[in-house]
């Protein structure tokens, strides 16, 4: 949450430092549940900081892989939405749709939640 607050205030470097610290603590304690979200947030901050798109995409792919391993569907959706946005910005609409649609379609309830609505907006823009 601290990293997100820094990012929203425009202090991306402090946000990245907070994420690095959170990842260290998670590694030391063996806490893996929020691993996908940490990778996703790093990707978002990298993107906002103008880092190389391959680095950004790697963060989102790591987030997606970790969410799949943990069977954390909501975190998987968030990672896929971030990845799809990045791919769409690169003109890779088919790849973006392929990354996001299967995960979005898995959900049958809660379609009015922010995460699912955000995913739907991205998917609708890819048609």
The predicted pLDDT at position 108 comes to 92
Indicate the domain borders of the chain. Answer: 2-125
pLDDT at 94: 97
pLDDT in tens, 6-56: 888 888 888 899 989 988 888 888 888 889 999 999 999 999 999 999 999
> Left if phi > 0, otherwise alpha if psi is -120 to 50, otherwise beta: which for 34?
alpha
Secondary structure class of 90 (helix, strand, coil): coil
CA–CA dist 102, 11 (Å, integer): 34
Q: What is the pLDDT of residues 46-89, one digit of tens each?
A: 999 999 999 999 999 999 999 999 999 999 999 999 999 999 99
Cut 0.85: pTM above it: yes
Side-chain half-sphere CA neighbours of 94 within 13 A: 0
Contact 7, 15 (CB under 8 A): yes
> Looking up tokens 């769409």, which residue turns up?
88
Query: Looking at the domain 2-125, which fold is it?
Result: 1.25.40
């Amino acid at each position: 949450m601290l990293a997100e607050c820094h990012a929203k205030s425009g202090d991306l470097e402090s946000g990245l430092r907070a994420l690095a610290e959170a990842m260290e603590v998670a590694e030391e304690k063996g806490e893996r549940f929020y691993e996908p979200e940490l990778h996703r947030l790093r990707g978002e901050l990298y993107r906002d900081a103008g880092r190389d798109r391959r680095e950004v995409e790697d963060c989102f792919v790591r987030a997606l892989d970790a969410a799949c391993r943990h069977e954390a569907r909501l975190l998987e959706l968030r990672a896929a939405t971030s990845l799809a946005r990045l791919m769409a910005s690169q003109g890779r609409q088919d790849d973006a749709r392929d990354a996001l649609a299967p995960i979005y379609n898995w959900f049958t309830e809660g379609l009015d939640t922010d995460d699912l609505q955000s995913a739907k907006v991205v998917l609708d823009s890819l048609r």
